[in-house]
Amino acid sequence: MSKETEEITISRVFDAPPELVYRAFADPDQLCLWFGPPGYSVPCETVQIDARPGGFQRFVIINDDDPSQRSPVDATLTDVVENKLLAGHYEVTGVPGATGTVSYRLSLEFHEEGGGKQTRLELRQGPLAEDMGEEAKTGWEGSFTELDSLLRRSL
């Protein structure tokens, strides 16, 4: 069993204002268009979001090649500041390579840059099992590539 000690951090700049990047995480109709590691998707009908302290994010990540491989995500949002911060406690079941439920904290900070035309996203996720950190980073990078495409279409 791996020790759960790793916290990943990712800093990424998007060519869109903070309100658009924030909305991509907080709007169910947008989250399903971009979220998921390569080879996985989130059906829009599975997404429920109540973006407020004490609110939630719920959705199911499904393997594109084997739809029976499903990972339900259930998050309780603890810190929410519109266009600036989304943070909470996440529980995910059915994670490939993990047994039981994977629990972690996720914090997303949205910082205005470039005169409001860009957003620097600061992501912190953990604790994760030591062997899951690189997989999580790879998953986020794949998702962010899709998010870049969505944001270009929104501008």
**Structural domains for the chain:** 4-154 (3.30.530.20)
Residue 130: what pLDDT?
80
- Count Cβ neighbours within 10 Å for each residue of 120-154 and write b for 16 or more, e otherwise: bbebebbbbbeebbebbbebbebbbebbeebbeee
Angle at the Cα of 50 from the Cα atoms of 48 and 53, rounded to 5 degrees: 145
Summarised one tens digit per residue, pLDDT across range 8-21 is 999 999 999 999 99
Q: Decide if pLDDT at 3 tops 90.
A: no
Structural contact between residues 86 and 115, judged by C-beta atoms closer than 8 angstroms: no
pTM of the model: 0.93
Q: What percent of the chain lies above the pLDDT cut of 90?
A: 85
Residue 73: what pLDDT?
97
User: Residue 68's closest CA among 94, 46, 50, 87?
Assistant: 94
Which tokens hold the place of 132? 């899951």
Which tokens hold the place of 38? 């390569």
Half-sphere exposure of residue 26: CA atoms within 13 angstroms, side-chain side: 25
Number of Cβ within 10 Å of residue 100's Cβ equals 9
